[in-house]
Chains A and B, each alone.
Chain A
């Protein structure tokens, strides 16, 4: 079995005043090549921390992350084969859509010809050709998300991390974004690791799901397996949040 992402015994603590918060506890996970994998969990469960560790924005205290058979801390060039599209991604407010795409394609080392071709393909794919001359601060939430997707595909990534990709979007745009995620996975064959709060989203998109809670994976399997086990994902999620709240009280 070939894996795109192998996470082995990752732990991460953060200091908050005199206290230490255990954000990730000895977490291990393997994600197969070409699959869409969903990471579900309540706020503060460790989903974003895990994505930040995978992208090296946060360094782990212990454990290893292997991306496409390369240790991501030792062979940083592997990061160029990966991308992250986050629901809260931001760009400089004065830059236009075309500027942003051009800047990142230069940064990825695309030649002028490749750059023009790629930007044209992606702007068509995500339906942003009409807003190429608009400034980032003039875009709607849906347009921003489509730009984030287009930017994240400039380097033709083999791994795509999606952090809450439909958070705060209108239902019609969220539906479009979901179908685009499926299309990217099918047509481009990329491995997708997705975090979400929406049960139906992961059910619809993901071949496997992991529940993360207090920095640990508490369950992992196909949506069908987990449904069999708990009735439905929504119920299980609510139960987890309630238990967390009770413990905090």
Chain B
């Protein structure tokens, strides 16, 4: 690992992000509009069921944050594949580690900016969710780690499978969210889905978010479970990532990607 290489990649990421207009739209437009939609719903639901509206809103905040954190990293990798520039990067001495670390740093910066924006908007709808800023920060941190872990795993899939399966970069998270029971307790799922749900990285994060609305705190056990879950994903992700690159070099996929 060399800091100059990671710095160069991050510099390039921001050049691309600011010059490719559709990326700005994707990064900011969707989270902002989603929060506006559910924010108005939360306002309306105050008259019918205060907590339901708040739950929908807070889950959407973390859902969008997770999406931007994960997809920013993976879309940058796909752009390098689509542009045919991946080989040029690795020819310059940039290592697999430099490459993913730079992606994760850029994704963290971008997603935190978006998070600040959507939290700011949410404040106008439901100031009550800001009563526990420390708990919000903890959930943000755990969600970020979970999203980074998924980014590393999805990057491995993209490097191993090439252009044809590029859509994983922006679709996989949706499945993980769905299986993480975002708006309902896991117990509402059929038994077999419950087993799957408990090993999803976001299940306990969403449970913590719902708890924040329902009982005013995440709960120590939920925090611990969510932290363990995302840490396991994060640890598993790295060997998969290195193996994917090793395989891509062995099978010639890396040369074909470029």
Contacts and interface: CB of A to CB of B under 8 A. Distances in A.
Interface in B15-33: 15-16, 19-20
Interface of B: 2, 4-5, 7-9, 11-12, 15-16, 19-20, 79-80, 83-85, 87-95, 246, 249-252, 254-255, 258
A83 interface: yes
Contact of A93 (B7, B83, B91): B83
Q: 6 tightest CB-CB pairs across the interface, nearest first? A: A90-B84, A106-B8, A107-B8, A94-B19, A109-B4, A80-B93
Contacts of B7: 106
Given A57-B91, A99-B12, A91 B83 contact: yes
B26 to A, nearest CB: 14
Contacts of B94: 107
B185 to A, nearest CB: 45
A84 interface: yes
A79 interface: yes
A125 interface: no
A107 B4 contact: yes
Contacts of A80: 92-93
Contacts of A56: 90, 249
A14 B252 contact: yes
B12 A92 contact: yes
Interface string A71-84: 00000110110011
Nearest to A77: B93
A51 B7 CA distance: 28
Contacts of B89: 107
Nearest to B9: A107
A58 interface: yes
Contacts of B8: 103-104, 106-107
18 contacts: A49-B252, A52-B252, A57-B91, A58-B250, A84-B91, A89-B88, A90-B258, A92-B16, A95-B19, A103-B8, A103-B9, A103-B12, A107-B5, A107-B9, A107-B94, A108-B92, A109-B2, A155-B92
B251 A14 contact: yes
Contacts of B15: 94-95, 99, 103
